[in-house]
Amino acid sequence: MDRKIIVTEDKSKTLLIPALNETYHSIHGALNESMHVFIHTGFNYLLPRKELKIFEMGFGTGLNALVTLNEAIQSNTSVEYHSLEKYPITLNEINALNFESLEHLENAVYFKELHKCNWGNLHTITPFFKILKIHEDLLSNNLADAFYDLVYFDAFGPGTQADLWTASVMRKMYETLKPGGVLVTYCAQGQFKRNLKEAGFAIENLPGPAGKREITRAIKPVYR
């Protein structure tokens, strides 16, 4: 499907799929959204743990991976980051996104390395950040039980891909999280939140980034 590079309101770039009217991050600020939803609401919530295993649904442009690598280095946290993607972006798109020139992101220089490492193998990018990129479909891949501390659920919205936001997919996220594990997402749709509850999560509605009223943090209870 055809994709276009766009510049968002905080000057960071992202991709738009015109046929779906879907962007990979918010038009109100891609970097700002990534920091708010995934770092401040997810990653920082789990500090001061010094080791985190993270699963990302949708590697996309690699922006969430890059901000997480940056945060791992700055907080001295050892991160093993597994990211799933069915439709990897192209080299031309990676070059045009040019996230290594992002201001205010000290370790942006690692952007290309995140993209260069091949799919299916665990790579050490820095002593604090290892990445495994998985080229598979969320609806058919297998995930280990009680393996991750944190899930970044960053699929296209339920209006576009309803099959990725169902109670059964949320149950899969629940099973792959350790007890006490956390799922964060930009989505706050009512049916989606009911699906999270049905899967067993306790949910919190939290303020969103620019242009979005609410986002969701879901927690797998320690005792059930």
Return the number of other C-beta atoms located less than 10 Å from residue 150's C-beta.
24
Query: Which of 99/201 has CB closer to ligand SAM?
Result: 99
Rule CB under 6 A: is residue 86 a binding residue for ligand SAM?
A: yes
DSSP state of 114: H
Using CB under 6 A, pick the residue from 29, 42, 58, 209 that binds ligand SAM.
58
Rule CB under 6 A: is residue 85 a binding residue for ligand SAM?
A: yes
Radius of gyration for the alpha carbons in the chain, expressed in angstroms and rounded:
16
Q: What is the 3-state secondary structure (H, E, C) of 157-191?
A: CCCCCHHHCCHHHHHHHHHHEEEEEEEEECCCCHH
Rule CB under 6 A: is residue 71 a binding residue for ligand SAM?
A: no
Query: Which of 153/201 has CB closer to ligand SAM?
Result: 153
Query: Which of 50/116 has CB closer to ligand SAM?
Result: 116
Query: Which of 20/206 has CB closer to ligand SAM?
Result: 20
Rule CB under 6 A: is residue 209 a binding residue for ligand SAM?
A: no
Rule CB under 6 A: is residue 64 a binding residue for ligand SAM?
A: yes
DSSP state of 146: T
Query: Which of 87/119 has CB closer to ligand SAM?
Result: 87
Buried b (16+ CB within 10 A) or exposed e, 26-58: beebbbbbbbbbbbebbbebeeeeeebbbbbbb
Q: Which of residues 108-147 bind ligand SAM (CB under 6 A)?
A: 137-139
Residue type, 27: I
Return the number of other C-beta atoms located less than 10 Å from residue 214's C-beta.
14
Rule CB under 6 A: is residue 63 a binding residue for ligand SAM?
A: yes
Rule CB under 6 A: is residue 154 a binding residue for ligand SAM?
A: yes
Instruction: Please state, in angstroms and rounded to a whole number, the distance separating the CA atoms of residues 52 and 39.
Output: 13
Rule CB under 6 A: is residue 192 a binding residue for ligand SAM?
A: no
Q: Which of residues 9-48 bind ligand SAM (CB under 6 A)?
A: 24
**207 preceded by cis ω (within 30°)?**
no
C-alpha distances in Å from residue 34, one per residue of 7, 31, 38, 134, 147: 15, 5, 6, 20, 23
Query: Which of 76/95 has CB closer to ligand SAM?
Result: 95
Rule CB under 6 A: is residue 181 a binding residue for ligand SAM?
A: no
Give contact residues for ligand SAM (rule: CB under 6 A). 24, 58, 60-61, 63-64, 84-87, 137-139, 154-156, 161, 164
